[in-house]
Structure 1
Amino acid sequence: MDSISKELLENLHKAQKAKAKKQARMRVQVGENSYPVLDYSGTGFALDIEDAPHLRGLVDLYAGPNHLYECLIVASEADGPLMRYDFKRATAATDKAPLDYARDPDAPVALLPR
């Protein structure tokens, strides 16, 4: 069996990585920078080790344009071409401010003019 040249193998890995980044549906936003999420689980996510810095702290997690979570993360481990990050906290993002009181379920929705 013929062996594959090192150059061809490197180009194949680069093409696979580019395809994975292009197909990534989730991304992590850190300030002005955005990184595609290549692997996601309920306890954390993984980014390309070459592109992602050693992130730590507060980040935002998006699925397309939808803001899913505000996360507090810590770098976990390097896993081959991926850098894994674990959630310390992942709070679901909402488009409404939290209420300071318990809302009465029978409260009127709107007032009608007389």
Structure 2
Amino acid sequence: MTTYLPKDITDGLVAARKMALRKASRLRVEADGSSHKVLRRWENGFSVDAADAPHLRGLVELFDGATFIASCLIIASAEEEGEMQYEFKRSTAARDHAPLDFQQDEDAPFALLGKS
């Protein structure tokens, strides 16, 4: 028995895998006013559909649905099986509060009680 598959079947399997990844992922990346669906994400990067996205480079913003996740500086690293892969040069996670500009004491009070 042989493991050879005709090209049209292989292309169909790759397209079906990309469609499943696209439906399962809520992640998207925004660059220069355009938004692109993220197929996969790992610790040091992410991938998008090569046919969908231009050759991205520089500062982009990563979102999970409508929630801002991170601001990232990226470079294109490889194109494999119809996916364009990007690596993070820098990734800064989004915060829901401003960073403190002073050091807090460990035993500092966290609330004041009024006189009763």
Task: Give your verdict on TM over 0.5.
Answer: yes
The offset of 1:92, in angstroms, is: 1.2
| 1:52 alignment partner AA | A
SS for the counterpart of 1:38 is strand
The residue that corresponds to 2:60 in the other structure is 59
The alignment's C-alpha RMSD in Å is 2.6
Matches of 1:112 and 1:31, distance apart in 2: 50
State whether residues 49 and 84 of structure 2, in contact with CA within 8 Å, keep that contact through their aligned partners in structure 1: yes
Q: How high is the sequence identity, in percent, across the aligned residues?
A: 44
The residue that corresponds to 2:22 in the other structure is 21
The residue that corresponds to 1:78 in the other structure is 79
State whether residues 14 and 81 of structure 2, in contact with CA within 8 Å, keep that contact through their aligned partners in structure 1: no
TM-score normalised by L of structure 2: 0.76
The offset of 1:42, in angstroms, is: 0.5
CA deviations 1:73-92 (Å, max 9, x no partner) are 00111112000100001111
Structure 1: 5+ residue runs without aligned partners?
none
| Bigger Cα displacement from structure 2, 53-62 vs 28-37 | 28-37
| 1:94 alignment partner AA | R
TM-score normalised by L of structure 1: 0.77
